[in-house]
Amino acid sequence: MTLQTNYQRLQDNLAYLKLKQCMLHLDETIELANTQSLSHIEWLLKLSDYEVDIKRQNVINHMVKISNFPHLKTLADFEFSFQPQINEMQIKDLASLGFMEQAENIVFLGSSGVGKTHLATSLGIESSRNRRSTYFIKCHDLIQNRKSAKDEGRLETRLKHYARYQLLIIDEIGYLPLQHDERVANAIVDRLLHHAHVISITGDSYRLRNHMQQKE
């Protein structure tokens, strides 16, 4: 009777502390402790690992969600065989995020539909999964947000907002005409290319291929 009471008290305590994973895995952990003769520390560590793992995964999922990615395509989804001129090992090396430690830029160059956004998003997802603050935004939206902030007298605050991210992904930066003089335009390009990995993609369009396949 006492054992059952203590067991129920333990369940109640776990519920009160909102340790749902500990509650779900309590019985199997107790059985494992008995069959493998685990010490008190070992089985408590095993039980707490379930809770820690799910909380870590929830943090990762939250960071991915708030990063504003247009889709959740990873490097595993990228068809390197369709773009053989891309150095797959180089991209996977960039996914280790060493470029962030070195404060380096990555610039993907190429026509529409060749996979630039996919690759950039994949690196961004990897950054978020490593709990690095990451944000994805289209160049047009960035310019409009900057303009609105300037009109409202909040430009400095808005710039600080973007500057706080460890990784800022700006998509379609070359698709819109920027109304700057040549000197300013050259300065922007120079800043982007400074300490940058420039990856040029000259292959065919995924979107065109998919469109043609749908028509067949």
The b-or-e profile of 156-179 (16+ CB within 10 A means b, else e) is eebeeeeeebebebbbebeeeeee
- The pLDDT tens digits along the chain (216 residues) read 555 688 999 999 999 999 999 999 999 999 999 999 999 999 999 999 999 999 999 999 999 999 999 999 999 999 998 888 899 999 999 999 999 999 999 999 988 889 999 999 999 999 999 999 999 999 889 989 999 999 999 999 999 999 999 999 999 887 666 567 667 666 777 777 778 899 998 877 766 666 556 655
CA 50 to chain CA mean position, Å: 23
Q: Are residues 44 and 121 in the same domain?
A: no
Look up the CATH number of the domain holding residue 86: 3.40.50.300
Q: Are residues 131 and 32 in the same domain?
A: no
Q: Are residues 98 and 195 in the same domain?
A: yes
Residue 70, domain member (yes or no): no
Q: Are residues 186 and 106 in the same domain?
A: yes
Q: Are residues 22 and 121 in the same domain?
A: no
Q: Are residues 146 and 170 in the same domain?
A: yes
Q: Are residues 21 and 97 in the same domain?
A: no
pTM of the predicted structure, to 2 decimals: 0.79
**Which domain does 182 fall in, by range?**
75-215
Residue 97, domain member (yes or no): yes
Residues 6+ apart with CB under 8 A from 147: none
What tokens were used for 95? Answer: 């996914």
